[in-house]
């Protein structure tokens, strides 16, 4: 009974937080897990969008045992839903364990147009994703670098 009551309270608090626009923490994602985002523009793009990049950057300290793993990544698998809406449906890449922030969205057209939107100047929603990977750095440290003839 106590567990049921605790579950009901947690569900109620989560519902209230979401209703007030507060972010609810998600569990960490692993490489291969899906990541989905919807980009909505306030008008249609003049041209045919053929590329969408969502660029994420590490926001927390680098893990010493994962220095050789990427600290940035892009998502680019997308489909156009309407003249003003694009769905990005990609997967978590192999990247360093930590928290990443969506720093920019870039749209490219078949006609050569490119527009980059950055957080927080062009979009206000803070989008973070926590990644947990069990991979370790495969590169040894450099012993020395010296000029040679």
Segments making up each domain of the chain, as ranges: 27-131
CATH class of 27-131: mainly beta
Can you tell me whether residue 18 is helix, strand or coil?
Answer: helix
* DSSP one-letter code for 66: G
Can you give the pLDDT at residue 138?
85
Separation of alpha carbons 117 and 53, rounded Å: 10
Can you give the pLDDT at residue 6?
46
Would you write out the chain's pLDDT as a tens digit for each of its 149 residues?
Answer: 555 444 444 444 444 444 444 454 578 999 999 999 999 999 999 999 999 999 999 999 999 999 889 999 999 999 999 999 999 999 999 999 999 999 999 999 999 999 999 999 999 999 999 999 999 988 888 999 999 98
CA distance to 27, 82, 109, per residue, from 6 (Å): 19, 42, 51
Residue 98, beta-bridge partner list: 131
Can you give the pLDDT at residue 18?
44
Contact between residue 109 and residue 73 where contact means Cβ atoms under 8 Å apart: no
Can you tell me whether residue 108 is helix, strand or coil?
Answer: strand
For residue 78, give the nearest of 68, 70, 87 by alpha carbon. Answer: 87
Can you give the pLDDT at residue 3?
52
């Amino acid at each position: 009974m106590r567990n049921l009551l605790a579950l009901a309270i947690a569900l109620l608090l989560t519902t209230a937080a979401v209703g007030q626009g507060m972010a609810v923490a998600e569990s960490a994602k692993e490489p291969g897990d899906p990541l989905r985002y919807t980009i909505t523009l306030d008008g249609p793009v003049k041209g045919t969008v053929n590329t969408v990049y969502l660029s994420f950057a590490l926001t927390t300290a680098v893990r010493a045992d994962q220095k050789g793993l990427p600290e940035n990544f892009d998502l680019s698998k997308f489909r156009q839903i309407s003249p003003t809406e694009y769905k990005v449906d990609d997967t978590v890449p192999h990247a360093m364990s930590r928290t990443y922030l969506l720093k920019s969205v870039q749209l490219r057209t078949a006609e050569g147009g490119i527009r980059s939107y950055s957080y927080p100047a062009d979009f206000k929603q803070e989008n973070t994703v926590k990644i947990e990977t069990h991979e370790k750095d495969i590169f040894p440290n450099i012993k020395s670098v010296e000029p040679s003839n």
